Amino acid sequence: MLSNKKFILASNSVSRKVLLKNAGLSFFIEKPLCDEDYIKNQLLKKSINKKKLPKLLAKAKALSVSKKITKHLVVGSDTIILFNNKIINKATKKKSMEPSFIKSIYKVLFADITISFDNVIGVVGASKGNFGFMIFGLVLSVVLTGALASYLANYVQKHIWIAYVGLAFILIVAIQLIIGGLVDLNILNVNEEFIKYF
């Protein structure tokens, strides 16, 4: 009956569309206008035989479309899987593990602020209060991190020892700043010969 007559398929299923196309049938798809999950839950509350569910759901889908389009034959379809009289539902889509655009922006901003703060501490500590050196160091830091960031990152990845040297330098400057602060607060005393380093 359907082989030579165009009909409407009241279904969202991609697999049903493929099956019917492969069978050489002529049809077009119309989205069902009923809440399938609501109807299913209402039927299950009535303790209906679960084997009858596909037929009743298919009918509800077809009727929802045929009320809107009356000139064509409407075919509804549904499938359920029963295992030990329990309905196996369709697999839900997993949440994408890819970070969202906003989260990516926050991560970049956090990394940028952290690196900038780190650079400021390093430059201020290394300048030893010399204003000219401090300005030069900060300008150089901005230029290097802004203009050459990707190049330097790739270079450091190939020569990992540079990262360790940089880390050692930052640790030395941090220790100098801590000791210098303790000396300024008269919490720690340093020999006159070594005071120039702090």
pLDDT in tens, the chain (198 residues): 555 678 888 888 888 888 888 888 888 888 888 888 888 888 888 888 888 888 888 898 888 888 888 788 888 888 888 888 888 776 555 555 556 777 777 776 676 666 666 667 777 777 777 788 888 877 877 777 667 767 777 777 788 888 888 788 878 877 887 888 788 888 888 777 776 666
Indicate the CATH number for domain 7-88: 3.90.950.10
Residue 4 is predicted with a pLDDT of 64
For the chain, domain boundaries: 7-88, 101-197
Q: What is the C-alpha to C-alpha distance for residues 192 and 177, in angstroms, rounded to an integer?
A: 17
Residue 60: exposure state from Cβ atoms within 10 A (0-12, 13-18, ≥19): buried
Name, in order, each residue with C-beta under 8 angstroms of 75's C-beta and a sequence gap of 6 or more. Answer: 2, 7, 8, 9, 10, 27, 62
Residue 170 is predicted with a pLDDT of 78
Residue 1 is predicted with a pLDDT of 53
Q: In what order do the strands lie in the sheet with 27-29?
A: 27-29, 7-10, 73-76
In this structure, the chain runs to a length of 198
Rg value, the chain, Cα: 36
Residue 44 is predicted with a pLDDT of 84
Nearest alpha-carbon partner for 28 in 51, 5, 47: 5
Residue 176 is predicted with a pLDDT of 80
Residue 189 is predicted with a pLDDT of 82
Rounded to two decimals, the pTM is 0.42
